[in-house]
Every structure is written in structure tokens, then in C-alpha cells.
Structure 1
Amino acid sequence: MFDLAGLRRIKGPCCLGIMDSPVGRLSLIASDAGLHALMFDREREGCESGLGKFPVAQRHPVLLLAFQQLAEYFSGIRTSFDVPLAMEGTTFQKAAWKKLREIPYGSVTTYGAQARSLGRVQLARAIGAANSKNPVSIIVPCHRVVGVGGALTGFGGGLEAKAQLLAHENRVFNFMPTDAVGARRC
């Protein structure tokens, strides 16, 4: 779920952009520094007063780039994002979010595996807590982390949206062309 405290920490002039997507309406907050947040409608509940301080500006360059890349992702032609990010979080959260960006498109991992990749084998629950504060879901793909045995667990956009994102990636991944040695071309 989106961290309202993170919304309060955003400094400087920011703007709000809204787009419709196959998984529902998305609200994005951006500044010249990058994309600060991407929220599902259900995450906006309780944040409305904080969002009121950001003017709606659909034409901000960072928002336009994010809208374009998200549209390409949902149409199946983009498998990674390079929109600039300006995410606020603790050192541990930022390390967890960096690992999220390393999960290959069309793949999933577990909280335990993510903890091991950080050399913090005993901190699977802490990884889950850090992932839950990811302010830029989809772009920083926390939806690719599942529970033991592949169980769908917490996601700010809801489990239905998480399942839709994973199904979308699986469908696109399975139709990606391969090169002569069978490697996927992205």
C-alpha cells in the first residue's frame, strides 16, 4: 500500500497525472527530478488530502514519458522502463526496490529469494514490508514477488491487479521472438 508519509516527504514543485490502464486508473506524481509515485485508485483512499497539493498537469515531460512507457508496457511492446525515478525511502527500502528492478520480465521470485539476493537471508518479512512501501509499482515491479509456492500475496493495487499484471507479462513473454540459440529478444 502506498506510504502516505512518503507523499508528505516529496519536496519541490510536483504535479499529478492520471491515466486509465487495463488494471484500473493510475495516479502518477512527478517533478523535474523524476517520477515520485504511481498509485492505484484503491491506494488513493486516505491520500486524497495529500494529493490535493499537487496540481493536475498531464503534459509534464516526466509524466508524458511515464504515460508513454506504461502504454507500451500494457500493449506488450515494452518489457522494462527507463523513466527517471525520484523515490523516497530508507536505505534498506531503496536496496529492496533496486532488487525488484532486477527481476526479469515474465518471471517471479519470492520474498525469501529477494532477501537472499541482498545477503539478508533472515529478512524475508522485512523485504515484504519494504516492497509494500514501493511508491512506483508496475515500473518497479513488486508484482513479480510472490509467496512460497507461488501464492499471490499483498499488492497495493489488490491481488486481482497483481494477477492481471503477471498474466499479461506471461502472455507477452511466451510470444516474444527468440534468437538462433533460443534466447528471448526484448
Structure 2
Amino acid sequence: MKVLNVVFCVLYGLIGKVVCFHCDENAAHCFTSLDIKSAFTMIGKGNISQVYVKDRAIYSINPAITDQVSIDDIITADGWNQTRHLITANGSMPGPSIIIYEKQKITILVTNHMINEAVTIHWHGIDQLGWPAMDGVAFVSQCPILSGQTFNYTFQPTFGGSYWYHSHVSNQRDMGMYGAFIVLR
């Protein structure tokens, strides 16, 4: 089972440049973090600038860069040849997979680095029995995380399975962030 999980993390990482968090099987309580930031699709780092797709390859609009641009440095989340605003977790979209084991407690420190927007993280399918303030629905089960603030989500899933998480953002025009949450038996 461990080999399968490592393969999943590596494969998922190759697809979306996502780093996976895998809790140690013997740990009673695990800790990880998500840094929530604004980003743009189809924008490269440094002097790469905006990119476009031609003949199944990515190129910079910067005329000084004539070689193909690696997809590893580009968030392509919503199609090609358009730049859109989106939310990332740890610099990626989708966010990193979080893998824990049944009955393990987990604390996920979520820091909001966005300038104007409040955010929460909603954990789909995770029963929040005894942890209702950890559900991640702004103004229903918790106050939103304001810019510059950190919120500690702590809960203990009781059932194994594949779940997902996503952001709730005060400005719904943005593409929200999502990621996989896996609870192993």
C-alpha cells in the first residue's frame, strides 16, 4: 500500500507539479500547511512572462526567449492561451494531496497570503463530528481567514476513502483552488 501511495504522489506531482503530504503511518497526530495565494494561469516566472501554446509546445511572448518553456513552471489550470486569476495552495493548482490514515488526527495550518480576499477551506466528505468549526464554510461554520491570518484546521477523519478539499473565496470571480484528501485504512 505504501508503494501505491508513493507512486500516486509522484504521478500526481508530475501532472500538476504538486507536492504531496503523506502522514507517517505510526503518527497519532500529523501537521502540514497550506499557503493560499493569488496567481495567474499562463504566466511564467522571471523573464518568461506570459506564455502561449503553438504546435503542442509552450513559448514565451518575450522575444528574447526563443526556446520552448517547460510546463513545470506554468499553471495551465483553465485552458490555454488565456490568462486567468486563480487561487493556489503552496504555489500549485491543484493543491497538494494530503494523505493520512484512519483515526489519525491532522492539523493543517492555512495561511491566507491574498491581499483583498478572505478564504476558507472546505473538506468535502470529511465528517466533522466533534469538530464543526473545521468544516470551512465561511459565516456558517467558521469566520473566514482574513488576509495575513492563519487558521489551524484540526480534525480526525473516521472513515477511509478519497475526498477532496477546495477554497471558498470572498470574491467568487476567481478560480478556486482544490486538492485531494485521502484517508487510508
Structure that is richer in strand per residue: 2
TM-score interval (norm. to shorter):
under 0.3
Structure (1 or 2) with the larger CA radius of gyration: 2
Structure 1 length-normalised TM: 0.25
Output the TM-score relative to the length of structure 2: 0.25
Q: Which has the higher helix share?
A: 1
